[in-house]
Amino acid sequence: MKIHPLILMIVMIFANNSIAQTKVEGLLYLTKKPVVVEIKNGKIVNIHQIAKLSDQSHPVYIAPGLIDNQVNGFAGVSFCFAGGELTKEGILKATQELWKIGVTTYLPTLTTNTREVMIRNLALLAATKNDEALHGSVAGFHLEGPYISPVDGYRGAHPLKYVRKPDWNEFLEFYEASGKNIKTITLAPELDGAIEFIRKCTALGITVAIGHHNGSKEIIDEAVLNGARIVTHLGNGCANMINRHLNPLWPQLANDKLMASIICDGFHLRDEEIAVFYKVKGPDKTIITSDVTSFAALPPGEYKNDEGETIELTKEGRLSLPAQNVLYGSASPISRGVARIMKITGCTLSEAIQMSSTNPAKLYGLNDRGVLAKGKRADLILFEIGDSDLVMKKTYVEGKLVYEEGE
């Protein structure tokens, strides 16, 4: 018996739509009430409360995926260093490993290096950014340097020989190589030409961050007036010995127009620093970041960086450059920062997710994610709250299950 083509087409459409629809249960991070999130074609089509979860013996929370604005690398993959050249396969590997810790969107971060290395890696990231296998997880790129303070302490672990003053023509080379995908840049506002540079970046729609600097109150306020919007890892990228009154911490905290990203890995900031920063900036002006490097997710031990210097990763998770007695980025995922800030400040899960998903989405204009709402991307995480971390059970990106514990 022949089937009429119109009937066959209707059946096929129904079948495809059925396949594309998914229902996910969990305790909503906003209310801790059980809900069902309905997903279709990569989008959230409905969220409704239910009486109880199907599996009450293993309740999990459900929230938007985490958004990390500072990922220097992960699981052996570096986004900037020349050694062990960056590859498309490496970008995919890092992304898949980040999914396992609940990061569904991130900004690959390129730190201070040669023009050649930065252009090459930006071009590769741009060529890979829209690969279907990444499901849109790479939202753009973060340049942390090379236009930062050359002074020890403020410079952090950035190699001095590559640090330089803002160069607009050079930056335009970076911008073009990136496919115009540079979302944010961290620089020192006290450098010659920095204020004009900030103004030009802002005009291009690039979010300007100040960091690794020793700017005065006047310079910091001027940077904000010209477009700077956030402090990169407040309390870090700072000299160990500072004037108790005249230092960059107070004016950055005092300026209500500045947001602040903070690293809550247990090593970059003491608990009381996190508590004070949170009290001043609050959940609306704080972003939790990780500053993870290629050494994250690797076993403890000694490693070599691109300069041949020894990098030490302790069993506790502290990553350092012993030669300079400075931290070398982080080896702890952003999910750990979410759990720690809740424990330190007493903030709610809702506020912690706001700082690690909603706020960065707003800051970088990622209007299709960062919250659970009808019409948004179905970037979801299902998790339990452990003593020191969020324990991921499932991660969905664009409605696709990309990680499940034990699988």
Q: State CA 355 to chain mean position distance.
A: 11
Q: Who has greater pLDDT, 14 or 61?
A: 61
DSSP category for residue 318: -
- Give the Cα separation of 130 and 306 in Å (integer): 28
The answer to whether the CB of 189 falls within 8 A of the CB of 359 is no
Cα 146 from Cα 162, distance rounded (Å): 7
CA 112 from centre of chain: 18
Run of H or E including 46? strand 43-49
Domain 65-363: which CATH number of 2.60.40.10, 2.60.200.20, 3.20.20.140, 3.40.50.360: 3.20.20.140
Query: What is the pLDDT averaged over residues 38-58?
Result: 95
The pLDDT score that the predictor gives to residue 195 is 98
pLDDT exceeds cutoff 80 at 270: yes
Measured CA to CA in angstroms, residue 43 lies from 185, 358, 390 at distances of: 30, 17, 24
pLDDT at 181 over 90: yes
The predicted pLDDT at position 32 comes to: 97
Please give the CATH number for the structural domain made up of 20-63+372-404.
2.30.40.10
Q: With the C-alpha atoms ordered 365, 368, 369, 374, is the resulting torsion angle positive or negative?
A: positive
Closest CA to 398 of 9, 22, 2: 22
pLDDT at residue 11 tops 80? no
Domain with CATH 3.20.20.140 in the chain: 65-363
Q: Annotate 48-79 with three-state secondary structure.
A: EECCCCCCCCCCCEEEECEEEEEECEECCEEC
CA distance 26 to 53: 7
- List all residues 6 or more positions away from 172 whose beta carbon is below 8 Å from its beta carbon: none
Comparing CA positions, the residue from 329, 360, 355 lying closest to residue 341 is 355
**In the sheet where 400-404 sits, what is the strand order?**
43-49, 34-40, 21-28, 61-64, 380-385, 390-397, 400-404
- The per-residue pLDDT of the chain, averaged, comes to 93
Tens of pLDDT, residues 131-141? 999 999 999 99
pLDDT at position 7 is 44
Share of the chain above pLDDT 70, in %: 94
C-alpha triplet 21, 22, 23: angle, nearest 5°: 135
pLDDT at 98: 98
Q: Where are the beta strands (DSSP E) in 226-348?
A: 228-231, 259-263, 286-289, 301-304, 310-313, 319-321, 326-327
Q: Is the pLDDT of residue 356 over 90?
A: yes
Q: Which residues, other chains included, contact 67 with Cβ-Cβ below 8 Å and sequence gap of 6+?
A: 103, 104, 105, 106, 139, 356, 357, 360, 361, 366, 369, 370
Amino acid at residue number 6 = L
The pLDDT value given to residue 83: 62
> Is the pLDDT higher at 1 or at 207?
207
Q: Could you report how far apart the first and last alpha carbons of the chain are, in Å?
A: 44
| Lowest-confidence pick of 68-72, 96-100, 367-371, 403-407 | 403-407
Length of the chain: 407
